[in-house]
């Protein structure tokens, strides 16, 4: 991306001029339309089993996903004219750190089923454009590998809260040692959601050892089975049938993949539900910003404040966990009407982040206008990478 020669020299708006000057259209995909990018990703992944629907599918009837998207259309932007916006900036300060825009790369696990670079590409891209990258506990690359790929970029770690304190402490230790600045604790996935497409195809990459790389590289988790931690990269493309055939034939690699996949799933999506008092354990063992992801009610936002949490992500997991839930943008509207939340935000005591339903720049604008300080981007970046 080159600097624009127009007054103001804003590199983001200069991108549009770069496209016009190139005379080729936006490269490499030839489109900037979200639906077309999504369609290209679907086409590229058509031979990879349930990979597309694993990322794009939702819980139950998909009603929460549809509601997330539809809620944005209920708000319209009213532009104001003759305002001096010649020199403008998208820079945003979150937890005392200034970033190039109010955009964070959301945690997405199991990326090895989509692309051979898996989590490496978005981690590098986040560094290149100056936004935080959030690594998922269900990643197919290790905490240490992503830290190296992200270099001096800003990164956070997303925690699927393990069943045991020993494994939790080990993950926090690794994250701190590798310069992950904030901890994002996902609250809505103590158990996996009811996802019809995944159930119809019995599609669960974890069962074949894909998306368990953080677990298999963890010394505490592996010591439980008398094993040393290992670093491995799952094969691409992911072929569930091939793994199943190997398991039946007695292939040691396939059998080990199933064993450790199921063991890590039981650890990270354990069905052990936590309560507010359990947050003290994380607060005592993590000295950076502590963020709760999955907040959908005023009650929970105010409880988070009472328990000394530094930030919340207003999110319903893109509709992947609870069918028939309220849209995330509506939850944000309600939460931002709370005087306690507003006062805490204005005093710098509570940072409000948002995800679920974001597809375009105007969606981001609306979420910010309703009170979010930054948004977590998921479908746009995942489809861009995998359509490429």
Sign of dihedral through CA atoms 165, 163, 179, 226?
Answer: positive
338 marked as binding residue: no
Beta-bridged to residue 183, according to DSSP, are 157, 290
CA 274 to chain centre: 21
**pTM, entire model:** 0.94
320 marked as binding residue: yes
224, part of any domain: yes
Decide if 284 contacts 324 (C-beta within 8 A). Answer: no
| Alpha carbon distance 200, 196 (integer Å) | 6
357, part of any domain: yes
CA distances from 317 to 68, 108, 199, 320, 321 (A): 10, 11, 18, 6, 6
The answer to whether the bond into 20 is cis (omega within 30° of 0) is no
Mean pLDDT calculated for residue range 90-106: 95
pLDDT, one tens digit per residue, over 323-365 is 999 999 999 999 999 999 999 999 999 999 999 999 999 999 9
3, part of any domain: no
Indicate the number of domains in the chain: 1
Specify whether 317 is catalytic. Answer: yes
2 marked as binding residue: no
274 marked as binding residue: no
CATH number reported for the structural domain that contains residue 228 in this entry: 3.20.20.70
Q: What are the b/e assignments for 300-310, b being 16+ CB within 10 Å?
A: bbbebbeeebb
Q: What percent of the chain has pLDDT over 90?
A: 76
Structural domain including 163 reads 31-76+92-388
262, part of any domain: yes
Catalytic residue among 115, 154, 208, 317: 317
Beta-bridged to residue 134, according to DSSP, are 156
- pLDDT at residue 7, as a whole number: 36
| Alpha carbon distance 147, 127 (integer Å) | 11
pLDDT, one tens digit per residue, over 2-43 is 333 333 445 677 888 888 988 888 888 888 898 998 898 888
């Amino acid at each position: 991306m080159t600097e624009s020669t127009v007054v103001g020299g804003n590199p983001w708006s200069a991108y549009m001029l770069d496209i016009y000057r190139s005379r080729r259209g936006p490269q490499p995909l030839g489109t900037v339309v979200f639906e077309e990018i999504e369609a290209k990703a679907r086409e590229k992944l058509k031979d990879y089993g349930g990979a597309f629907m694993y990322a794009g599918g939702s819980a139950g009837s998909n009603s929460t996903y549809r509601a997330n998207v539809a809620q944005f259309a209920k708000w319209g932007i009213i532009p104001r004219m003759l305002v001096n916006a010649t020199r403008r900036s998208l820079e945003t300060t979150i937890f005392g750190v200034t970033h190039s825009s109010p955009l964070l790369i959301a945690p997405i696990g199991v990326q090895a089923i989509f692309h051979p670079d898996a989590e490496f590409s978005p981690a590098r891209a986040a560094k290149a454009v100056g936004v935080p990258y959030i690594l998922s506990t269900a990643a197919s690359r290790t905490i240490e590998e992503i830290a190296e790929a992200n270099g001096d970029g800003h990164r956070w770690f997303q925690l699927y809260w393990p069943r045991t304190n020993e494994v939790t402490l080990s993950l926090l230790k690794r994250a701190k040692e590798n310069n992950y600045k904030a901890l994002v604790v996902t609250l809505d996935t103590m158990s996996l959601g009811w996802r019809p497409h995944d159930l119809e195809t019995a599609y669960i990459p974890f069962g074949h050892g894909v998306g368990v790389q953080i677990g298999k590289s963890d010394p505490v988790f592996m010591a439980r089975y008398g094993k040393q931690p290992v670093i491995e990269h799952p094969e691409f493309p992911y072929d569930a049938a091939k793994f199943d055939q190997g398991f039946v034939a007695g292939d040691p690699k396939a059998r080990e993949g199933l064993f450790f996949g199921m063991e890590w799933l039981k650890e990270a999506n354990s069905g052990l539900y936590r309560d507010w008092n359990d947050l003290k354990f994380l607060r005592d063992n993590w000295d950076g910003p502590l963020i709760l992801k999955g907040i959908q009610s005023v009650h929970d936002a105010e409880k988070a404040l009472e328990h000394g949490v530094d930030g919340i992500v207003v999110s319903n997991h893109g509709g992947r966990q609870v069918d028939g839930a309220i849209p995330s943008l509506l939850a944000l509207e309600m939460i931002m009407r709370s005087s306690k939340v507003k006062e805490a935000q204005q005093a710098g005591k509570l940072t409000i982040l948002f995800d679920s339903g974001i597809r375009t720049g105007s969606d981001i604008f609306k979420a910010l206008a309703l009170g979010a300080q930054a948004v977590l981007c998921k479908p746009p970046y995942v489809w861009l990478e995998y359509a490429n």
